[in-house]
Structure formats: C-alpha cells, structure tokens
Structure 1
Amino acid sequence: MMIPNWGLKRKFITVFVVLITLPTVFGFIIYYQTSVALKDQAKEDIIGNLEKNEQNLSAIIEEVTNMTAYMTYDKEFRTFFMTPEAETHQLAYKNAVDGINGYFTFQMISKPYVSSVLLEAEDGTILDLGEPILNGEKELAKAAIQKSGAPLWSDAYHVTSEWEGEKEVISVSRAINDLNQINNRIGMVRIRLDHEKLYRSIESQDSSTKWSYFVLSNEGSVVLHSDPSLVGKQYPETELATWVTKGKASSYRLETKDSNYLVVKKELQGTNWYSVAMVDEGEVVQELYHVRNSIRNMIILLILLGAVAFVGFYRSNIRRIIELTKQTWQVSNGDFTASVDVQSRDEIGILGMHFNKMVKTIQNHINVEYRLKIKQKDSELKALQSQIDPHFLYNTLDMIRWTARLENAYETSRLIERLSSIFRMKLNNGKPWVQLKEEINYIKNYLELQQSRLGDRLQFYINVQDDVKDNYVLKQLLQPLVENSIKHGFKDLPRQGIIRIHGYRSYNSLYINVIDNGWGFTNPEKIGIHGYALRNLQERLELVFGKAATLEKTNLTQGASIQIVLPLIDMERVKNIQRELGE
C-alpha cells in the first residue's frame, strides 16, 4: 500500500472517511490508556521527585558539613582559632582573616542558601560573616560541644536578621578540635542556611503532577516547607506526622474529609530528618476528566476540519501547494532562481510572496557575505604583511635573556623570559583557543611581571582544579579582568592589592572567579572603565557560546568579584565551534 505516493485528492478522501468512521473508537481507546498511564505516572512522579529532592538536600548537607570539616585542617582557620587575642594585630593573623573572608565570600556567592557564618575561638574572639544575627544560640553551642567534633544539624528555628528582619534558618554547628591534639577544642563554627532559599534550591517540579514536598524532624516538627508559617512548628496533620516518624512502610495513603493523598517518605542520612512528598489523588482524577473532554473536543474538531478541507479547499489550493512545494525543493537543492507565480492575495498567495522575497534575500546575503569574506581575507593578508616576524622577535628576546645571564643579571633574565612567554601566548600562531593551563600560565607570568614592578603593593593567588586544566578557553580570557584590577581597582589603594583566581568544575560547566580587594564598582568613573572591558568580554562570550556562557559581577565589602561560567570544551568541540563560526 503506497500511501506516501498517493495524490492529494485520494489522501483527502481517505482522511475524511477515517475521521468520520473511527474517531469515537480511537477516542475511547486513548482515554482508557491515558487513564491508566496517568495513574501510574502520578505515583512514579512523586517517587522520582522525592528522590531528586532528597539527593539535592543530601548533597547540600554534605557540602556544608565538609566546609566545617575543612576548618580543622586549613592553616588559615587554625591560625584564627589558635591566635591569642593579644596577637591579633600581627600580619599572619590578618592574612588568615582575609583568606577566611575570601573563602566564605566565594561560598556565599556560589551557594546563595548560605546565609551567614559564625566563627568563635576559645578565647572569645568572634568572626561573623554574612548577614548579622541578633539572637543568641547558646543551646546549639552546648549541644555541639557534646558531639565532640561531630557536626550537629539543627531543626528550623527563628532568628532576627539586621538585614531581612524576622526569618527562619537551619544551621550546622561543630566544635573545631586541634589537629595535633584531637581532644583539645580550639573553637566553634556555625553555618546558617536561609530556609526559603534552601527550599528553592532543592525543590524539583519536573512533572506535570501537582505535588507537595516538605521535611520533618524525628519529633514531627517542620524543618522545610513551602509554607513558611509552618516552619519550626509541629506538623498540623498528627496522623501523617506519626507515620513519618514511626511508620516502617515507605508509602502511605492518607484519608481526610476533603480528599485522599498518596504519601511517600525517605530518611535523610546524617540527620534526624525525613523527606516527605504527597499528591492529592483527587487532582489526578480531575486531570483525567480534562483529558476526556479534550479528546471529545478534538474528535469533533477533526471531523469539522476534515469536512471543510475536503469540500472547501481541494479545488482551489492543491495545485498552488504543489507548485510551492516544487519551488521549495529547488531552493533546497541550491537553485536560488526559484520563484512562485502569485495569482491571489489569500494565505497561500501571501506565502508565495514571502517565499519569493525570502529567496531574493538569501541570494543577496550570499553575495554580500562572499564579498565581505574576500575583504576580510585581504585585510588579514595586509595585517600579516605588516607584522614583525615572530621568530625574529622570539630569537631577539632569547639573545637578550642569555646576554643578561652572562652579565649575571639573573632577575633581568627572568623578567625577559616571562615577557617572551607572554608574547608567544599573545600570538599563539593566530589561534584563538588555548588550554586553561596555558591561560593560567600566561596570567601568572603577567602578574609576576606586574609584581616585579609594583613590589609589595600587589599579591596574587591562583587556585585551579586539576580536572579542568586541559579544557579549552578563549585566548586572553582573564587578562582584561586582571589588568583592570591592577590599573583601576588598585589605583591609590591604601592597602596591599590582592587578586584571587579560582577555577573549578560544577556539573558540566567551568567556573572561573576573579576576586580583588580594590575599590570595587562603587566609583562611577571606575564603573565606566570596568564596564568597557566587561562589555567586550561579554560580547566575545556571546559570539562564541551564545546563552551557554555567563559573566556576572558582584560588589564585595572590600573589592569586587567577577564570575565567568563556560561550557566544558575539548579539542573536538573547539573544531565544531570553529566550523560553525566559519573560522
């Protein structure tokens, strides 16, 4: 049966007969199958979404717990906790505090649900980061001490913030012990998580089924819920709370006066909490009614459309559609002389006019782009002819470097070697892509040259994870940001300028943060200067990656932070991008 080869007339008649004789049978079959599928899907959705939320929350708990464990081993944190109050004026202590501030600034930027952090040394020295909290939390401190260095996750509780007023938070507290004398406590840390932001971070709504998600403690109090008024209180449905805290089955059917609910739960490891998800079975049934009505309306509509199509449009439109199809095939085969004879101004006639206009536009674009490429190649040729031979430049710098070494000017030799490396990177054989480790090496050479010029007025730290160093980035991605920090962010700065560069992987993206302690973006003149560099960099990223790359700037208490997010790129992906851009 060669249905694809039938003529339009035969197809119209066949479709019309099918729409008249079979729609009711098909409708009942579809309705029955949809009913069964929706019921099964509702149950699968709620279980799947519960697992996703539980995984999201468990990942956050693990990340924040690891942050507290990190403080036991990190030198800067141990310096803060173990330095007596009388020695807090020393440079080592101040550098440690600066490092801690930078660490938690990065954490709060990358994890919006982290609200504030409290560090308290045994001698009473306190470092409060993030939004200030007015309430006392002595009971949490006592309970954490009794845990002997193990993390203590609290239930949700009420605090008063100087920034946001009344709010609910969840916190983890931990006694920090001496690394060398594990039973000797040297301080206390408490990390508070904003309830609403934490809930938004973990909630998953990937299905069409309406469901609710919340977290209860083992005492039945609400830890996380979409309704903030319930947080910190006993869950109002006593029967459900009792099943969550004491029931052994993983699913439960709750019957109330208004409706029946399907409920599932899962215990969160490392806490005394339970993840709970529930769906109203009545809403699932209501969805089935909507499906049934939609199918009935669809059948009626199809019958009407079939009759109209058969009676009203066959004679007057099929021939023009065939002609338009024929001309479209010509265009798809590269023949841009195709044209449709427009005899009326109805929809098909307008389509024909737009088709003719489109073909002419494509032809014009081809001609224009061809001429532009010729001009571009001519400009590139002239630019190449006017450049100094790179090999001559490298050999000359190398000769100067060895002359300096023979004259025992080792520092001069080292600086010339770094300058030569920078020139090589800038040229890079005309290639716009480099591996991240090459870009970092280039920035390191650049900063060391600047450090030689500025002396103690400049310090920098570079921390890039090994698993992202082989990924490719645009050449000179970071240099405009670092240069702006030195030229404008540190100009007339009454303290040592510090630049921190962090590179790491999160999911399938590369994150690069450039943080300085300069003037920030508060000065209108500096905003214009920074904005020009950022705008140029943003345009480069949009041209290559589109919406897959982002650039965000943030003002800090001291200085500014710029975060670049890029897709992870290997050499095969670089070649694909270059083909797409016509490079």
Structure 2
Amino acid sequence: MLERTLSYAQTINRHTSDTIDVQLKRLDQDTIQFFHNREVVRFLSGKDSEYNRLRAIMDTLTGFLISHSDVESVFLIKRNGQQINSSNIILANKDKVEFVSEAATGNGKSVWLKTRVSAQGNRVIPLVRQINDLTTIEPLGTLVLFIKENKINRLMEGQDLKIDGELVVLDPKGYIISSRNSHDIGHPYRSDIFEQLKLPTGQFFSKETEKHFYHYLQSDLTSWIYLYRFPESELLSGTHIVRNWVLICSLIFTLLAILLARVIASNLSKPIIQIVKEMRNIESNELNVNLDYAGNDELAVLASSFNNMLSRLRTSIENQAQLQTMGHELEMRALQAEINPHFLYNTLEAINWMGRMNRIPEICDMTSMLADIMRYSIDTQREMVTLGDEIIHVHKYLGIQKIRFGDKLNVFIDIPEHLLGLTIPRLSLQPLVENSIIHGFRDKVGEGKIRVICEERDNKVFIKIEDNGCGMKEETITSVFNGEDLGPKKSIGVMNVHKRLKLFFGEIYGLEIYSVLEKGTRITVKLPGRLEANVQSTHR
C-alpha cells in the first residue's frame, strides 16, 4: 500500500507539471513573435516613436491579449524606461527595475516570477523576457506578461486527488506560486520543508502535529516545484479493514487447522499404536509377528522394513541353529576320532618305521600323509582356513589315493598364488575330490582324471573340480544335494559342504553340479571374492 501510494503521488505531481507546462510552453513560444515584429523592434530600439507606430504596437498587444485569455496584460519596456501596454495601467518604477533585471538573467529566455496582486486586484504571475536584436543579439527592451494565477489554479483543481492532501506550486526561491488555499499564494513556504527540496525529485516524511508525507517534482521548463503533501493517516487509510479481515481469516484458519490436526493425528496415531504393540511382542521373544498395515505412506515403509528385519532375524537365528547343530556333529565326530589319538598316531608311527626298516617307501609316505589328514580333520580350533591350507590337505588325500590307484589316477591342480590366502570353511574341497574318486571312478575303466582349477571374476571366486568319471543323472544330482546317497558320510559330504557355504557366505554362494553320463562331472564351488570374503570373515 505504501509503494502504491508513493507511486500515485509521483504520478499526480508529474501529471500536474506536464499539464501546466504544456500551457506555459505554448505561451512562451507565442512570445517569440515580438522578436520578429518590426514595429516592436523599431519602438524598443528608439528609432521610431510616431503615434501611428505606437498605435500599431498597441493593436499588436491587444491582439495578443484577445488570443490569450489566460493573460491579463502585456507590457513593453524600453531601455530608457519608457513603457507601453495594452491598457492604461502604468508599472511602478520599482516593478520596472525588477522586471528588467530578472529578464536580463534569462538572456532572451522566459523567466517566471513570484505571484503578486496586479493593479486590477487580481493575482497574476509575471512572465518577463528580454527582447534582443536578432542581428547583433544586443538587448532592446523587456516584455512583461501578467498571467492569471487562477488559470494555474484551475489546472491544479482539475487533478483528481484520490488521497486528500495539499497540492502547491513553489518558485525556486520557495514562494507559493499557486495553491488551493488562496491565502498562502505569494507567501514563502515553510523553510524547514523547503530546505529539503534539493533534488529534482524526491519524497520524505516530516513529523509535525501529525506525520505527513511529501513528494516533490521540479519542472524543467519553469523550475517551479510541484509539492504534494498529505497526512500518514490518509496514506494508510483502509489498513484497519485489511487488519480486521486478516484477524478474522487467521482465526477461521486456526480453528480449521486445529480440527484438521486432530483428524490427521488420529489417523497417524492408530497405526503407530498398532506398530508399537506388535514391537512390544518381540520383547517376549514372539518373533513370528508381522505388521499388517495396508497404507501407502511412510508408516507402510516402516512396517515393510520391520517385517523384512524380522524375516532376516528369523533366518539368521535358523542359520545359527543349523551351524550349531552341524558344529555339534563335527565335535562329536572329532571326539570319537580323539578317543585315543596318541594310540592312533603311535600305531601309524610304528607302521612308518616298519616300512622304513623293510625299505617300503610307499608305507612311510602313506602313514605320514594319513597322520596329517587325521590331524587336519579333527582340528576343532579352526573353523575357517585359507585356501592354501585346504589345497595342501587335498594334495595329501590325493597322495594316498595315488599310492592306491597308481597310474590309473591323474591329478592336475592349478590355483593362482594371489588366491591362496582366501578364507574358506575347513573341509570344503577334500569331500568333493573324495566324491569324484569314490563315486565317479567306481565303475570307471581306464585312467581317471581329476582337474582342480580356480578363477576370479566379478569379485567372486569359482573353484572347479572336474573328473572324467561315470557321471550322474539329474535325479542323482538332487539326491547328492540332499545327502541321500552318501549314507553316514552326509555330514561331511557334498550336501554338507553346500549347506555350510550358504550358511557362512549367503544364499547366492555354494555348489553347482553339472554332469553328463559316461563323460564326467564338474562341481563348481562359488565363493565371495577376496574383499567380500575377508569382510565376512572379520565379522564372524
């Protein structure tokens, strides 16, 4: 509202200035005819004072008055002080001196003076202009016009002031040229206000009995200052209506917001209370709960995340239970194997020495490797070992089998050196190699070949155990994973290895079996890559 009011005040001053300047500029241009009038020039130059010439000048002045109703009278003053006018009025000497002096400051341009009362009792605004010889530019005399002030006042009153205030016109010295208050015309304006009118245009507030706003604009044509003044109460009129509406609307919207907040809070609190209730059931080890929330908001995401968390928790507990069960089975077998380990080791050592005494190196090698295999198998201190340790164990197992089968068994093992430090569960590869020998070569005629190779791609490690044995059918592969055809060996057989890998590393890991009857079998051990495996090993 303040910006709009200030813009309105500027518009009023600009429009008033333009309207008055248009009238005064037309009058100013019409006075140029006196520069070209031969009778006027001859009279002012003192070359002709005949009565007929004077009469012609009088007719010129009278004609100017008739065509300009806003001019009360016209005067021509020679340099010697002689004057001629359109009426019988004679200017006082002091007025003549003032008019001639002020006109000289304009150097041929019009100069507007302060409002005064003419001899006819009317308020007039003198316009003075020095008339120069167009050839020599020398001053010949002075033209004086008395412009009716009421003409300016009517133009001002024609402005539709939507904000009740005061509109006045000041001359450059601070005298009131025109105003709606006729008593102030011709008098100086307030000095404390006039001192602030230093720029061509501007605005400011002044603290009086009541705070007032002022906007002023100076005309380029007359240098008059158009001043628009109105109280602050008018500036902010109507704001109390806006204030009352704001208060009423605020109250209505506050009540609506409270009601809406209660509805929203109720809709939010019900599912939250339900979620809290279900969560408290977990404190009593009730892990089979599931949040049944059919919404489509953040609570639905929370409920889904809660259900997923419980599902993973139940899966983790089941996996841990299976690991513990398998651990107990391994411990029982280890305890059974440790009934008298020293007796077994001493017996193997005696067989070893008997082989040496009888110079049978195969017996020495077999008993030594068998002892190492037993130590590795019944070691309950290490659940996870390096791939290098597991390969050594496989080498020793195959060493015994090589002694047994001789040239009928051909083994090739190729493991990249940088993967030997990979961590895997103990007894992950030897049961698979054993499965190839026991089942793959059971009815094999000719040389049996086993190839163990390893490769890494996509941050995963793949260990392939291939043989050229008798192969398996699809239903046999299913039975192998279920441990159905391995009898009492199922706890450390193929099924056992598959389940342990999944429990240790996740569902995406484990064994894959591809087999073709009479051509052979390939078992692929899928393990996490070095970085992922090390992270999982650290967590365990």
Category of TM-score, reference length = shorter chain: 0.3 to 0.5
Higher relative contact order (CA 8 A, sep 6+): 1
Q: TM-score, normalised by structure 1?
A: 0.37
Q: TM-score, normalised by structure 2?
A: 0.40
Give the structure with the larger helix fraction: 1
Q: Which has the larger radius of gyration?
A: 2
